[in-house]
Amino acid sequence: MPFSLPQSVTLSRIFLALAIFAVALLAANLLVGLTIGDFGEASRAYQHSFHQYEALTDASAPRTELDAAKVSRDEAMFALRTQRSGFWLHIWLGIAAALMTLLVNCISFTYFIGTNRWSREVVDAFGLPEELAKRSQALKRKTFPWSIIGISLILVMASLGAACDPATLNPDAADWVEYHWGLAMVGVAVIAACFFFQVSTIGKNFELINEILQAAEAERERRKQAREQAESSTAAAE
């Protein structure tokens, strides 16, 4: 009976689960980023009020001015602390989402490299139709661009996120916020589409692997029968 892998262990299902988890992390982090407010503005407001208070203290300013500056500093500090927890959640969740996205795309990338080479070796070893190896190669070529797009997008998104981080003390950090936000909105959708296409090709590749396995098993059985017939003929001749 020709051998075939059970459908319950298909990599396409495993890949789909990982892809859904990665997209869920990206979407959750996007939501966190949209709800934490302008952390950069809060950070700049606190720095400004802090330095203003310090300057008035050094200059021995009147008590009323010092009290007003102190109130302004404390309010800015409260606003900054309120947003800080959400800001750090956004950073750590973003790191987790980026690593998960890279992992899923790399799984697809290495999977097609390995199975394509395996297909070629099995086709050559058993003298199977060349069309099987060509189909495997075609699936690999169709999938690679989507993996590269997903990897490139998440790297650029993470880089823009780092560029607009106010903790870096970069004076131009605020200028990158809109680019980071815009690319994140589009990037999550594009990465999800890349995953969807890869799930489709992985499923087709799994079916092709089963087809190659069945063809190899049939060829092995044919060779076995031919060898047994040859041995029987030799024994009868003796």
Taking only the tens place, the pLDDT of each residue in 131-162 is 999 999 999 999 999 999 999 999 999 999 88
The pTM of this model reads: 0.80
Q: What percent of the chain has pLDDT over 90?
A: 53
pLDDT confidence of residue 8: 39
Q: What pLDDT digit, counting tens, does each position of 96-110 carry?
A: 999 999 999 999 999
Segment 35-52 shows an average pLDDT of 75
pLDDT confidence of residue 2: 45
Count of helix runs (H) and strand runs (E) in the chain: 5, 0
- What residue segments make up the domains of the chain, in order of their start? 7-35+85-237
Confidence of residue 51 (pLDDT cuts 50, 70, 90): confident
